[in-house]
Chains A and B, each alone.
Chain A
Amino acid sequence: MKAEMKKLVKVRNLKKYFPGTEVSIFRTGKDVKAVDGVSFDIYEQETLGLVGETGCGKTTVGRTMLHLYPPTAGKIIFDGVDLNDLGERELRFTRSKMQMIFQDPYASLNPRMTVGSIVGAPLDVHTDQSKKEKRERVQELLDIVGLNPDFVNRYPHEFSGGQRQRIGIARALALNPDFVVCDEPISSLDVSIQAQVVNLLEDLQKKLGLTYLFIAHDLSMVRHISDRMAVMYLGKIVELADRDEIFLNSLHPYTQALMSAVPVPDPDLAEKKDRVILDGDIPNPSNPPLGCNFNTRCPVATDICFKEEPEYREVKDRHWVACHLVK
C-alpha cells in the first residue's frame, strides 16, 4: 500500500468500560473493561481485519467507533472530524457515512417490516426523496447485492441466512457510506454461503470504494479479506501489521498461538504443523491480571510481564506490537 494513502479513521486511546453489576446496595462490582485503550488508523479503501476470541472487546470497538456506545475515554476521528465534538444532529449526519453490518441476520432485521422498508429505512431518516425515488433506490440496492429487485414486498422470514445477510448489506449501503463496520457478518452462515457473502463484500469494496473494519474470529477468512490485521486480547490490541507480515512474522506469543490453533483443511499440513496449545482460559475483563494481560496463559512470560504493562509500539515499519519480549 502506498504511503500517501489517506487515513480515513483514526482511533486514539479508545476506552469503553461497562459499569459493574450491583453486588449489594452499598457496593457495585468493578467496571468491565471491554476496551481498554486501543489506538489504530484505517486507511481509505482498505480492509482492516480485527480478530480475537469471545469477550476480547472486538465488537465493542466496532460499536464504539460509530458512537453507538459513547466511549468512556479516547477519540475517534472520522475524515478529520472528532466525533466527540459533534452534537446529536451532526453526529447523526456523520453516521450516515459510517454504517454497520451485523452478525446475526435473523436478529438484525425486523420480522414485521418488508425488505423494501428495511432497506429504505435509512433513506427515510436521512433523505427527503419521494416514494418513487426511494423505491427505485431500494431496487437498485437489492440488485447490487445480488437479490431479485422484485423481492421488495417480501418479509425477512422468506429468505435464507445468506440472503438475509445480503439484505443487511443493502441496508448498510443505502446512504453511500465511506466506512462500513462488518461485525462477524459471516459467522452464522454455512461454509458454502460464507464464500458467496465474502466475495460480494469484496466486489462491493472495489466497485464503491468502501473502507471496511472486518471483525471476525475466523482467522483464515480475515486473512483472506484484509489488507492489514489487528489482534485483540482482553480489551487491548496486542499486534497490528500488514496481513502477510502478521501471518509470516507474527511477534506476539498470543498471535502465534492463535495462528497455530486454526485448523487447516489439509491432513498433510495438519500433521506437520507445530501446535502451540495455550493453557487455561481468558481472564475476567473486570479483573484483568497485573502487568501484561496475557501473562496468565503466555508460554514465555518472564518477571517483568507480571509487573509492568507492555507498551504498544511500532517495532518495525507498520508493525505494532505490545510485548516486553519483542526487541
Chain B
Amino acid sequence: MTPLLEIKNLKTRFYTQDGVVRAVNDVSYTMDSGEILGVVGESGCGKSVHALSMMQLIPYPPGKITNGEVWLDGQDLLTLSEEEMQKVRGRDIAMIFQDPMTSLNPVYTVGFQIVEALLLHNDMTKKEAKYRAGELLELVGIPGAKDRLDDYPHQFSGGMRQRAMIAMGLSCEPKLLIADEPTTALDVTIQAQIIDLVKKLQDELGMSIMWITHDLGVVAELAHTINVMYAGSIIETGKIRNIYKNTKHPYTIGLLGSLPRLDDAPGTELVSIPGLPPDLLALPEGCPFAARCEYRIEQCLVEKPPLVEIDGKDHAVACWRWEEIAGIRSK
C-alpha cells in the first residue's frame, strides 16, 4: 500500500535579522490513510512549522522551505503553484488551529464561514451548502445545530467554537486533517469532549488525522503513531506502545518522566530535564539534545545521529547510544 502522505527531507528556514533560524531540519516520514499521527514536542521544536510548510503557509519572507518533498496522493505539494495549492487546502488537507477565538472571523456568522468553504470546493448551490453546513454542525454535536448557523462566533463558547472549526475542517471531506494543538486552549472536561468527538468522527469517516500537541497525555488516548520532535528534527518515532512502553531516546524518557501521573506514588520527585532547548539560530553541530543529555559522549557533540529503525519496522530513534542506554536503564 502506498502511504497517503510522504514527507522527504523537509527543511524550513527563517531568514531573520539575527540570523538563520533552522526551524525544521530534515524531517522525513510517511503516514497511512486512516492513521492518527501524534506529533509531540515542546514550543519551538518545529511541530507546527513543519505542518505549515506542508500546506505552503509559511510566510515568505522571512520563511522559506529550502529543501524537501511532500507527496500527497502522488502529487508533490511543494511543486504546486499558489493557485493549485489553494485547491488542495481545505479539499485534500484541512487544518484546525489552536485558538478557536482567533481562527474564526468575528464579523461573519458561523454558518456563512462553513458555507464559504463548501461553495469554494464543491459544485453546489447556496441552499444545498447551507443545508450541508447544518448537517456538519449536527455531526460535531452542537445542540440545535440548524438554528445556530446564523449565530456569530462570540455567541459560541470555546468548546463550541472548536467544534465549529472541526465542522469547517470536515466540510470537504479532506483526506488529511491537521489539528494544531486543538484542545490546548480548552478546559479538561471540554478537551475530553473534543477528543471523544474526534475519535468518533475518525471511526465514521476514516480520514487521517495529524494531531500536533505538547501534551503526551492527549495523544496517548488518540494516536496510532507518534513522532517526537526536538529542535526541528524527529528524534523518535513509532507505534504508540513502542513510544510509551519501550521508550528509547533520552529526551522522550525525560519528557515522560517529567509528567506527574495520577497513579504515581506520593512523594516521588519529578525527573526534570536540566537546561533549555537549544537556540535554533545557533544549532549545535551534533545531536541537538546533547547539551541536556546525561548519556552524551564525544560523538554526540560532533555528529548528528540519524533516525534508525530498531526492533523491526515500527520504531525508530535518533541516538548514537540507544542500545547502551537501554542496557544501562534496565539495570
Contact = CB atoms under 8 A, between A and B. Distances in A.
Interface stretch (A14-22, A71-79, A169-177, A188-196): A188-196
Interface string A243-285: 1100100000000011111111111111000010111011000
Given A160-B276, A267-B244, A281-B160, A258 B188 contact: yes
Given A199-B269, A265-B216, A192 B254 contact: yes
B258 A192 contact: yes
Nearest to B218: A263
A44 interface: no
Contact of A258 (B189, B218, B240, B270): B189
B240 A267 contact: yes
B266 A244 contact: yes
B216 A267 contact: no
Interface stretch (A97-105, A134-142, A215-223): A215-223
Given A160-B276, A192-B254, A223-B262, A261 B189 contact: yes
Given A191-B259, A192-B42, A265 B187 contact: no
Interface in B228-263: 240-241, 244-245, 254-263
Contact of B255 (A192, A258, A266): A192
Contact of B220 (A54, A191, A220, A265): A265
A197 to B, nearest CB: 9
A192 to B, nearest CB: 4
Given A53-B188, A220-B261, A192 B214 contact: no
B217 interface: yes
A192 B260 contact: no
A198 B260 CA distance: 10
A112 interface: no
Interface in B165-220: 187-193, 195-196, 214-218, 220
B43 interface: yes
Contact of B187 (A53, A196, A244, A263): A53
B272 A263 contact: no
Interface in A176-215: 190-196, 198-199, 202
| Size bracket, chain A contacts | 35 or more
A269 B160 CA distance: 28
A262 B215 CA distance: 11
A156 interface: no
Contacts of A217: 187-188
A223 B260 contact: yes
Contacts of B195: 263
B190 A191 contact: no
Nearest to A52: B187
A277 B193 contact: yes
A186 B61 CA distance: 34
B298 interface: no
A269 B214 CA distance: 19
Nearest to B214: A191
B271 interface: yes
A42 B231 CA distance: 43
A306 to B, nearest CB: 19
A23 B254 CA distance: 53
B221 interface: yes
Contact of A275 (B192, B216, B259, B277): B192
B125 interface: no
A267 B241 contact: yes
B324 interface: no
B189 A278 contact: yes
B232 to A, nearest CB: 15
B264 interface: yes
A224 interface: yes
B174 to A, nearest CB: 25
A198 B270 contact: yes
A267 B220 CA distance: 5
B189 A266 contact: no
B188 A224 contact: no
B189 to A, nearest CB: 5
A277 B215 CA distance: 19
A219 B220 contact: no
Interface string B74-95: 0000000000000000000000
A263 B193 contact: no
Contact of A221 (B189, B216, B260): B260
Contact of A192 (B190, B191, B263, B272): B272
B273 A269 contact: no
Contacts of A162: 276
B157 A265 contact: no
Contacts of B273: 192, 195-196
Interface string A77-104: 0000000000000000000000000000
Nearest to B254: A192
Contacts of B270: 195, 198-199, 224
A190 B244 contact: no
B159 interface: yes
8 contacts: A192-B255, A196-B274, A219-B188, A243-B266, A264-B262, A277-B189, A277-B196, A281-B160
Closest A-B pairs by Cβ, 10 of them: A263-B217, A195-B258, A224-B260, A195-B272, A261-B192, A53-B187, A195-B270, A190-B42, A192-B273, A270-B221
Interface of A: 53-54, 160, 162, 190-196, 198-199, 202, 217, 219-221, 223-224, 243-244, 247, 257-270, 275, 277-279, 281-282
Interface of B: 42-43, 157-160, 187-193, 195-196, 214-218, 220-221, 240-241, 244-245, 254-264, 266, 268-274, 276-277
Given A199-B269, A224-B264, A267-B245, 13 more contacts: A192-B42, A192-B255, A192-B273, A196-B273, A219-B188, A223-B264, A263-B195, A263-B215, A265-B259, A266-B244, A270-B220, A275-B196, A281-B190
